[in-house]
Structures are given as C-alpha cells and as structure tokens.
Structure 1
Amino acid sequence: MLLCLLALCATAFAEEVKPSATTPAGTPGQVIAGVRTTAYTHTESDHIEYGPRSAVGSLLKHGQIRSAAADWSIYPVGTVFQIQGDPSLYIVDDYGSALVGTKTIDLYKPTHSAMNHWGTRRVTIQVIKWGSFAKSLAILKPRASKASHVRKMVASIESRPA
C-alpha cells in the first residue's frame, strides 16, 4: 500500500516538473491517467484552410499511427503515445488554439461521424517516446508573430527551468 502511494506521488510530481527546452519532457514508458481527450477532423470550419495537413506539414494520419494535436509546451511535437485499450499509436504532429494551456489531447478522426462518436473522454495513456521541445520551438517561433496561442506555447517552452 505504501509503495503504491509513493508511486502515485512520484507520478504526480513528475507531471508537474517542467524541464527546459533542451531536456526531455519525461521518461519513455510514463503512464498518465485521466488525460482529457477530444476529437477533431480536417473538415471542421477552423481547420479547412489547412486541409488534411498537420502543423508539421504532413498529411494527417489515421491508420496504425494516428495524428494528435496538443499544447506543444506540454506534449512536444513528435511525442508518441498509446491509449490504454487501443492498439493504435498516436503522434503529436498538430496543435490547436483551444488546447494551449490545457493538458487536453485532440485526436484526429477522418470523418465528422468518427469525431462525434469519440466525443470527450478521459483516458490513460502510455508515452512511448517523448517529442522534442527544441523541434517544437523551431516550428513555432517563425509562426509566433501571427498567432497568440503560438506565442503562448513559445513563451511556456522558453520559460522552463534548466
């Protein structure tokens, strides 16, 4: 019982530690419970101008490896995770203004029907590989002058203690 309590405390502490832009976000294999997830599709009105492309410029994925959007100052670009009970792998290759400042992950779905079917769910994820804050900054900085949510992610990454 005491070991379980210590493990829970250690996990909670690990989630609150903010590494610098050059250090990893956490340890591979880290399990995070209670992650709020939503879904989006490329035909939503706020995504139409981007078409079926992610923020990194690749086609949005929906196969064995699937696209996900998140606040890159929390889940940096390239983070790969698996949802408990789902054999698919998800990669953070997109972001959205409504996600900034939250720990919500938005899962790409190819249709409105699939998006609506997912709705909002709390899930447990296992991080297979943490992405890169440095790569996140390299993509975000040139876009910072155009959008306040991008500036917020840049500022959050740059303010992480060393």
Structure 2
Amino acid sequence: MARADSQTVRTTAYTHTESDHLAYGARNALGGTLQSATIPEGPYRETRRALPVSDARDTDESYTIGLMTREKRMALAKKAKAEKGKKKLKGAQGKKAARSRKPQPPRIGSAAADWSRWPVGTTFRVLSTGQVYKVDDYGWALAGRNTIDLYMASKGDMNRWGVRHEPIQVISWGDRQASLSVLQARQHYKHCRRMVLALQDKHEEAAALR
C-alpha cells in the first residue's frame, strides 16, 4: 500500500470485552491502557445579547445636565462611576466563565493496524467524525491487510460502528524502527513475524505467511 497522508481505508471496531481480547484486558500492545476517542467539541462562541435602545438617547443630555445643581451633577457622576465599576466586574466574571467553558481537547483513541503499513505511533483523524486515533495496538487478523481497527469503550459502540470505508488524514507517521523493536521479540506469533518481514522490506516472504 502506497504511503499517503490522505487515504480511504476499511475500518472495523473492537473492544476489550471480546472473547479474543479477554486475555489482554484493556491493554494495548505496548502495555498501556486502551483509550476510546472522543468527538471534538465545536469552538465556544460568545453571542452578545442585544440590548434595548434607551429613550434617554433621544434627549439632549448636555442641556439637561446644565440645568442640574452641583450636588445633582456630583450624585449623577458618582452613580455613573458605580455603574461603570459594576459593568467592569461583570465583564471580568463573564470572561472568566467563558474561559471555564472552553471545549476540552479531544481524547485520542487507540487503533490497531498492521504496523508495517501504519507504524506504531501513527496518528490520524477520521474525517467523518473528527475523532483522532493513534496506532498503539495490532491484531492477528490485521497483518497484511489495509484495515484499521478502532477501539470502542463498549460492545454497543463497537456494533454501531460495524464496518466502514472511511477517509482518514494522517497527522503524523509513526516509527518503523520502534515497531521493529517491539515485534522482533514476538516473532513466534505468525502475524508478528509477517509484520517484521514487511518492515524489513521482505515482502515476498511476508506474503507467504498466511
């Protein structure tokens, strides 16, 4: 498979409670914890509420103030200053609240794949959902195939996903050497041996292992 940042791939889904994964629990091939991806939230947009136009704007304020006594003018100035302080405080509180409501960065999910095609650490986005995944797992049924298995937190989520051909965007490619380092010690498993051979560019030997 040609290496390209934009691809359309066959995707499936799995979870840690499947019978063939019970022995490993919720652990990936690196020994870490499997993570389900979250859908990113849209950017928080502050919508300003429209305020009614005051009838006072239609009056000649300079003329009205000129007719006031000194005491009334001082009282009016004091009131205006207090109102300004309240607005400033309210504005600061509003900004603080807006900051606290900022969308959290999405959680990166775990994905299983053939490490000779998508090396461990490869990070990609599923364009239809916006979810981001990182390849940190593999599976015996994935070696030699253009399929990526997406980890789901439950069987319900797994079944809802099913099998889909999805466009993905590779954000960053993983490390082939790191993939080899992990897999070389596991070559007693045929699918690991096949990935090792493919990573070593021994494609004919790899294809012979079915």
Shorter-chain TM-score: what band? 0.7 to 0.9
Name the structure 1 match of 2:199. Answer: 157
Name the structure 1 match of 2:29. Answer: 55
Give 3-state SS (helix, strand or coil) of 2:135's partner. strand
Q: Aligned equivalents of 1:85 and 1:98: distance in 2?
A: 25
Which runs of 4 or more aligned residues in structure 1 lie more than 2 Å from their structure 2 counterparts after TM superposition?
A: none
The one of 3, 16, 20 aligned to 1:46 = 20
Name the structure 2 match of 1:141. Answer: 184
State the TM-score, normalizing by the size of structure 1: 0.79
In the TM superposition, what whole-angstrom CA distance separates every residue of 1:92-137 from its partner, at most 9, and x where no partner exists?
0000000011010000001111100000000000000000110000
Structure (1 or 2) with the larger CA radius of gyration:
2
Structure 1 residue 97 corresponds to structure 2 residue 97: no
Name the structure 2 match of 1:5. Answer: none
Unmatched 5+ residue regions in structure 1?
1-14, 17-25
Give 3-state SS (helix, strand or coil) of 2:19's partner. coil
In the TM superposition, what whole-angstrom CA distance separates every residue of 1:48-78 from its partner, at most 9, and x where no partner exists?
0100000011100114200000000110000
Q: Aligned equivalents of 1:160 and 1:129: distance in 2?
A: 25
Structure 1 residue 119 corresponds to structure 2 residue 93: no
Which structure has greater helix proportion? 2
Q: Aligned equivalents of 2:23 and 2:31: distance in 1?
A: 13
Q: Aligned equivalents of 1:93 and 1:140: distance in 2?
A: 12
Letter in 2 for 1:131: G
Letter in 2 for 1:123: E
Moved more, 129-138 or 85-94: 85-94
Q: CA RMSD in A?
A: 1.4
Do 2:152 and 2:158's aligned partners in 1 also have CA atoms closer than 8 Å?
yes
State the TM-score, normalizing by the size of structure 2: 0.61
In the TM superposition, what whole-angstrom CA distance separates every residue of 1:17-63 from its partner, at most 9, and x where no partner exists?
xxxxxxxxx46xx1112x10000000111110100000011100114
Name the structure 1 match of 2:10. Answer: 36
Which structure has greater strand proportion? 1
Structure 1 residue 85 corresponds to structure 2 residue 110: no
Name the structure 2 match of 1:21. Answer: none
Deviation, 1:87, is: 2.3
Deviation, 1:160, is: 5.9
